[in-house]
Structure 1
Amino acid sequence: MKRRFAKLLLGVVALSAVSACQTVQTTGGGEVGVDRSQMMMVSSQEIEQASGQQYQQVLSEARKKGALNRDAAQLFRVRAISNRLIPQSVAFRKDASRWQWEVNVISSDELNAWCMAGGKMAIYSGLIDQLRLTDDEIAAVMGHEIAHALREHSREQVSKAMVTSMGASVAGALLGIGELGQDLMSMVGKVTFELPNSRLHETEADRIGVELAARAGYDPRAAVRLWDKMAGRSAGGPPQWLSTHPAHDSRRKDLGEYAERVMPLFEQARR
């Protein structure tokens, strides 16, 4: 009886969580046709506020280490590229023109770049220097990261984590599951909810990213060259089913196909 009641209550909680979700369309499809609707449990405003606070903390820490915008010429270069990319974001969502965009360079050997909710961006010097990125390749990096923000992928991940943790907590309380069981349930939730969508997020960002670059007058085919450089540094990476990122061959193929699709936009931007 106790377990039957527990299962029933779990079902009620799960139903309540689903009903609390909001189905949203964060972006228009653009020429690349990314038009998937998303389920959200937290507002854009909350995520943007948290992202802004986190961003300032990251910048503060970098500043203390003397690692924030150390190379003036590199910063100028990155911001010049960003200033051409950012206006193109309105092709996917009009409200992005009202975001308080920020772009900074952090001196680090790490091969990384990111764009938080609301347009808070950073690229690491190691990515530019170690891979000897061209302007077109930097545009590919930043277009990809901007796409994550436009699609509100962080908001979507937080929403899914909220549903997963809610279910695990309730199950543990009702069924008497110990810490090990809680960890296992968390792992199952991660595999079920995060990994497939993380691959999907990367594909969406790849496709939107090449369109943003093309609209800004950067060669979208540079995304393929960039990915070849990244894959070369990671020895090809793990197979697709073990990774949150698409496998090298499938990702390269998709990037190439979508880069060709937006070539007319690139040619038009260059006139």
Structure 2
Amino acid sequence: MRHTTWKHAALGCLVVMGLAGCTTSPLGRSQLSLFSADKLDQMGQQSFETYQKKLPEVQGRTRQYVECVADAITEQVNSKDAPKKWNLAVFKSDQANAFALPGGYIGVYSGLLNVAENQDQLAAVLGHEVSHVLAHHANERVSTQSITQSGLSVVQAVAGQGGEQLATLLGAGAQYGVLLPFSRKQESEADLLGLDLMAKAGFNPQASIALWNNMKASGGQQPPEWMSTHPGNDHRIQDLQGRMASAQALYQQAKKAGRTPNCNRFRP
């Protein structure tokens, strides 16, 4: 009887933790957010400074080009809890990658410019990364990891003999049955939010399709989609195409409002 009581108490504790940190994403999806904005901003700053210490930065026309696109994107951010200032670094690296962190930190690897062939394709990447910040995906990811680890600890505490084996099995389930599909939802959400954001900034959203085709061509062999934290390229292209009509309408509105970025003039 006491063993069962402890199980119920432990599971109840986890449920309360989850409900206490329940929020909603910009697309209406329920999220788990257990950490304060200040804490996430601090984590973002620390991570950004770590990158700056480890990787050399690129200046000159390359930085001007990336900064031009980034500024156009972030100027369209009107969320009340979004960063008031965005900090940019272009890192010298062959990797085709970029990131945005809580607190308003954007990092772009110079190798990305070999795949993102023009300002519109680069805007698709930066719109996607900035959207991760606007949708509070970092808080969601850290919170999910925290509560999952707490759950595994509870299992080990209440299960007694065999608890370690059970926790191991649950850990595998968390990896392939809970956390990774959840992370794919984040990526898909950032794709759609980023598409709207780049269109509002005056970049042609159709370029996002060309970008992911380039990514597909340069990415080599991919793991099966169910084992990846990112949607497959074919899947994300299909989702982008499904939202393209509304994004094109936003793009036309931006052009009528005079938002026509000319960042290619800086491209080295």
Normalised by the size of structure 1, how large is the TM-score?
Answer: 0.86
Match of 2:121 among 137, 154, 160: 137
Q: Which amino acid aligns with 1:89?
A: V
3-state DSSP of counterpart to 1:18: helix
User: 1:106, 1:122 within 8 Å by CA — same for their partners in 2?
Assistant: yes
Q: What are the residue-to-residue correspondences of 1:34-183 with 2, within 5 Å?
A: 34-62=27-55, 67-69=56-58, 71-90=59-78, 93-96=79-82, 98-129=83-114, 131=115, 133-176=117-160, 182-183=167-168
In 2, Cα distance between equivalents of 1:236 and 1:225: 19
Q: Which residue in the other structure is 1:24 paired with? A: 23
Structure 2: any 5+ residue segments left out of the alignment? Answer: 257-268
Q: Which amino acid aligns with 1:128?
A: L
Relative to structure 1, is the Cα distance of residues 260 and 238 closer, same or farther in structure 2, using a 3 angstrom cutoff?
A: farther
Greater displacement, 203-212 / 98-107: 98-107
3-state DSSP of counterpart to 2:106: strand
Relative to structure 1, is the Cα distance of residues 180 and 100 closer, same or farther in structure 2, using a 3 angstrom cutoff?
A: farther
Greater displacement, 177-186 / 100-109: 177-186
Q: Percent of aligned pairs with the same residue?
A: 31
User: 2:192, 2:240 within 8 Å by CA — same for their partners in 1?
Assistant: yes
In 2, Cα distance between equivalents of 1:150 and 1:229: 26
* RMSD across aligned positions (CA): 2.0
3-state DSSP of counterpart to 2:245: helix
- Structure 1 residue 3: deviation in Å? 3.9
Q: Which amino acid aligns with 1:54?
A: S
- Structure 1 residue 227: deviation in Å? 0.5
3-state DSSP of counterpart to 1:95: coil
Q: Which residue in the other structure is 1:189 paired with? A: 174
Q: Which residue in the other structure is 1:30 paired with? A: none
Q: Which residue in the other structure is 2:262 paired with? A: none
3-state DSSP of counterpart to 1:24: strand
- Structure 1 residue 125: deviation in Å? 0.6
Question: For this pair of structures, how many residues does the alignment match?
Answer: 255
In 1, Cα distance between equivalents of 2:60 and 2:163: 54
In 2, Cα distance between equivalents of 1:263 and 1:198: 27
In 1, Cα distance between equivalents of 2:172 and 2:224: 19
Q: Which amino acid aligns with 1:142?
A: L
3-state DSSP of counterpart to 1:262: helix
3-state DSSP of counterpart to 1:68: coil
In 2, Cα distance between equivalents of 1:75 and 1:175: 55
In 1, Cα distance between equivalents of 2:101 and 2:201: 21
Q: Which residue in the other structure is 1:31 paired with? A: none
In 2, Cα distance between equivalents of 1:95 and 1:2: 46
Q: Which amino acid aligns with 2:35?
A: V
